[in-house]
Structure 1
Amino acid sequence: MLTNSDFVELIGSRHHLHRYPEVSGEEVGTAAYVAAELAKLQPDHLVTNVGGHGVAAVWDMAEPGPTVMFRSELDALPINEVSDAEHRSTVPGEAHLCGHDGHTTILLGLARLVVRRPSLRGRVVLMFQPAEEDGSGAAAVLADPRFGGFKPDWSFALHNMPGIPLGQVVTAPGPANCASEGLRVVFQGKTSHASMPENGVSPALAIVSLIPAALAAGKGGDVGPGFRLVSVCHASMGEPAFGITPGEGEVWLTLRTLFDSDMGTLRAEVMDLAAGLAVEHGLQVTFTHHDRFAACANHPEAAQTISRAVDDLGIARSAAGLPMRASEDFGIFGQHSMSAMFLLGAGEASASLHNPDYDFPDALIPKGVAIFDRIRQDLLG
């Protein structure tokens, strides 16, 4: 287990990461700091620039056995932090408001225990993944040819979660997080003078018709089989001027489904709605796709391994709140290994994730380390 000295040093690491956040795809300094901390522990393999700025530390044990991967995220969010904490972000417009600084620190703590008490068999991989927030990082890691050299049989992750009592675990087998995708719809017409709108082709009616139709296609409700949700995240058209009738406009929609297999159907339905409105109003329409997240499902055996570790440690757990509407760039690992993740309560009074005043609770560091280490011991001895 971690010592008091470990805890103090890990809090220092967490606060350092929090002060110097980097958004998806830009985690150069964060990755360098993590790699330097891991190098002190002399893993058998330290692999950098995995799938972008990812870092992987690998320990090979004495006897053959499975490869067990524990994953955290490196990236922060493009949001300005509102805080008077000494360790608040020093980068305007960027901050660790999702707790990835805490998740990364937990893996740095786990690394210390892997070195102090090596497992009997198999291999331990600590994967510090880039670009989780935009859904591109996990796929990039899997596509990196070097990942095949330490491809896991088991994959585990955690996410802190406000609204759950501090330190309580939420996990269950089966669906855990929804698939999601950002759909940008751009209507192109013809600009005109505002006094002669008949000389132009405005996207206004197409936009105001698309929004309620798209919302009706994904009404939300309880997360279960057939769940679909469409959220309107942004809409704009023309210039902010009273003398111009706009000739271009766009709508940004986020689509969510419980299962990957339902996403294609929802996507096609919404795109058909937009295409039909474009024809009706004499417009051109183009689509781009962004922030694609695969659905995340917990493998029964991996979920059972988490539950057993939590129970052995005497930590309270439940399955309340699963599956979640929110997405998580971990599900794709489950297509290649037995994977599962759990939620670790950040406190019922905590600010919500992605809020400007959110800050990861340092008290979760030893608990997260202990759970991951117990999983390691269970699977590798």
Structure 2
Amino acid sequence: MDQKTFIKLKNLRQTLHQYPEVSGEEKETAKRILEFFEQLQPDQVIKNLGGQGLAFVYEGKEKGPTSLYRCELDALPIVERNDINHKSTLLGKAHLCGHDGHMAIISGLGLSLDQQRPQKGRVILLFQPAEETGEGAAAIVNDPKFKQITPDYAFALHNLPGYDKHQIIIKKNAFAAASTGMILRLKGRNAHSAHPEAGNSPAIAMSKIIVALERLPDAMKRFTLVTVIYAKLGEIAFGTTPGEATIMATLRAFENETRDLLVTYAKKLCVQIAEEYDLEISFEFTEEFAATHNDPDAWEYGNEAAKKLKLRTKHIRLPFRWSEDFGLFSSHTKTLLFGLGSGRNQPQLHENNYDFPDEIIPSGVSMFREIINQIHN
């Protein structure tokens, strides 16, 4: 990548960083991406895909497979604590996951395709909304417009702090975990705090559920993880005993089926404890992420690309415990999600002082370009 192109992508990335939008609100971000692609000439532009999503289609001269390259439009609802010139201008919103960098990489791929289209088949550049909430991929797939661009392969990357810059982190099969957010509510009966025996406080049941949920993975044969992330008991009223409680937990596994089994066991366990204390119980589930599964054929393309580019590659043994909305595409096509090292001393993703390192943009663009060359030339 020449210096002029790099500066162009760096400026785009830093502009996107200054004006972050959270899941479901990515209207201005999508507009900026559209403006960037106005100088290019994709064969088709699909707007409002699954919300604010965008797809840019590049057609080859001959018939062939369709491959899709995805990035994310959304930022996080977190206050940024960085001392940088391109710091977020919107308080409480920031690109602390590197989605601004991912967008710059896919935009760079657009610049490359403008110069050299695929020889055969189609290439789709997808800018997905609402990745952070686990809603965007489903909205894309369920949008009737998606039928126009259903891919044979789908590729994505995620920058990974803790690894050397430009390093490729790759794995066959399970790559990132399936997860879901569970919200359970207990309902008892209030009483005067001077006469607690007249009520039915959920306090003891709540305490038992918190301990039992986090110990539940010990009984599972495959990897699972339950993390209680929030709990609320009663109200701040010293004259009143609590009558209600809320517990929120994230449930994770490396396979969708194992996660679903974990959910079944968790619900059964909570119901048993609630019944023991004569409490009403209800459940709600949110932010569901499918496991990301790397297809062997798609993996081969990524692995060969890293080899050809002579990028240092790390073949990991265990999947990552975090989840990625890209996992839903694994249920519909052959997918590959790989990691791009963003520096050993980088703050971790979602930390309030994280900032995507611009110097790894060319490596991301080159990886995708090389995959395209293998599939479409």
TM-score (norm 1): 0.97
Distance, in Å, in 2 between the alignment partners of 1:325 and 1:241 is 39
1:220–1:230 Cα contact (<8 Å) kept: no
Q: Report the Cα offset of residue 321 of structure 1.
A: 5.9
Q: Report the Cα offset of residue 215 of structure 1.
A: 0.9
Moved more, 352-361 or 330-339: 330-339
Match 1:293 to one of 274, 289, 293: 289
1:220–1:227 Cα contact (<8 Å) kept: no
Q: Which residue matches 1:324?
A: 320
Distance, in Å, in 2 between the alignment partners of 1:321 and 1:220 is 23
Match 1:334 to one of 321, 330, 335: 330
Quick one: which amino acid aligns to residue 226 of structure 2? V
Residues 186-245 of structure 1, C-alpha deviations (whole Å, 9 max, x = no match):
111122221111222211011100011111112499xxx711110010011111232221
Residues 312-369 of structure 1, C-alpha deviations (whole Å, 9 max, x = no match):
0110001136411111111111222111011000111000001000010001111100
Q: Which residue matches 1:232?
A: 228
Q: Which residue matches 1:198?
A: 197
**Correspondences of 1:30-109 after superposition (within 5 Å):** 30-109=29-108
1:182–1:291 Cα contact (<8 Å) kept: yes
Residues 286-308 of structure 1, C-alpha deviations (whole Å, 9 max, x = no match):
11001100001100010110010
Q: Secondary structure at the match of 1:59?
A: strand
Q: Report the Cα offset of residue 92 of structure 1.
A: 1.2
Quick one: which amino acid aligns to residue 183 of structure 1? M
Distance, in Å, in 1 between the alignment partners of 2:55 and 2:261 is 36
1:220–1:228 Cα contact (<8 Å) kept: no
Distance, in Å, in 2 between the alignment partners of 1:40 and 1:248 is 57
Over aligned residues, Cα RMSD in angstroms? 1.3
Residues 130-182 of structure 1, C-alpha deviations (whole Å, 9 max, x = no match):
11111111111000000010110010000000000111001021110110000
Distance, in Å, in 2 between the alignment partners of 1:192 and 1:89 is 48
Q: Which residue matches 2:151?
A: 152
Q: Secondary structure at the match of 1:90?
A: coil
Distance, in Å, in 2 between the alignment partners of 1:189 and 1:33 is 51
Match 1:280 to one of 276, 280, 289: 276
Distance, in Å, in 2 between the alignment partners of 1:3 and 1:193 is 73
Distance, in Å, in 1 between the alignment partners of 2:69 and 2:269 is 42
Match 1:256 to one of 252, 275, 293: 252
Q: Secondary structure at the match of 1:290?
A: strand
Are positions 1:162 and 2:158 aligned together?
no
Q: Which residue matches 2:121?
A: 122
Are positions 1:265 and 2:244 aligned together?
no
TM-score (norm 2): 0.98
Q: Secondary structure at the match of 2:287?
A: strand
Distance, in Å, in 1 between the alignment partners of 2:275 and 2:353 is 45
Give identity over the alignment, percent: 41
Q: Report the Cα offset of residue 375 of structure 1.
A: 0.5
**Correspondences of 1:207-226 after superposition (within 5 Å):** 207-219=206-218, 226=222
Distance, in Å, in 2 between the alignment partners of 1:128 and 1:321 is 30
Q: Secondary structure at the match of 1:356?
A: coil
Are positions 1:359 and 2:355 aligned together?
yes
Q: Secondary structure at the match of 1:55?
A: strand
Q: Secondary structure at the match of 2:325?
A: coil
Q: Which residue matches 1:17?
A: 16
Quick one: which amino acid aligns to residue 334 of structure 2? M
Q: Secondary structure at the match of 1:193?
A: coil
* Gaps in structure 1 of 5+ consecutive residues: none
Q: Secondary structure at the match of 1:309?
A: helix
Distance, in Å, in 2 between the alignment partners of 1:32 and 1:200 is 56
Aligned length: 377
Distance, in Å, in 1 between the alignment partners of 2:252 and 2:69 is 26
Distance, in Å, in 2 between the alignment partners of 1:308 and 1:172 is 13
1:134–1:291 Cα contact (<8 Å) kept: yes
Match 1:304 to one of 295, 300, 306: 300
**Correspondences of 1:132-151 after superposition (within 5 Å):** 132-151=131-150
Find runs of 4+ consecutive structure 1 residues off by over 6 angstroms.
Answer: none
Moved more, 329-338 or 368-377: 329-338
Distance, in Å, in 2 between the alignment partners of 1:355 and 1:245 is 37
1:219–1:230 Cα contact (<8 Å) kept: no
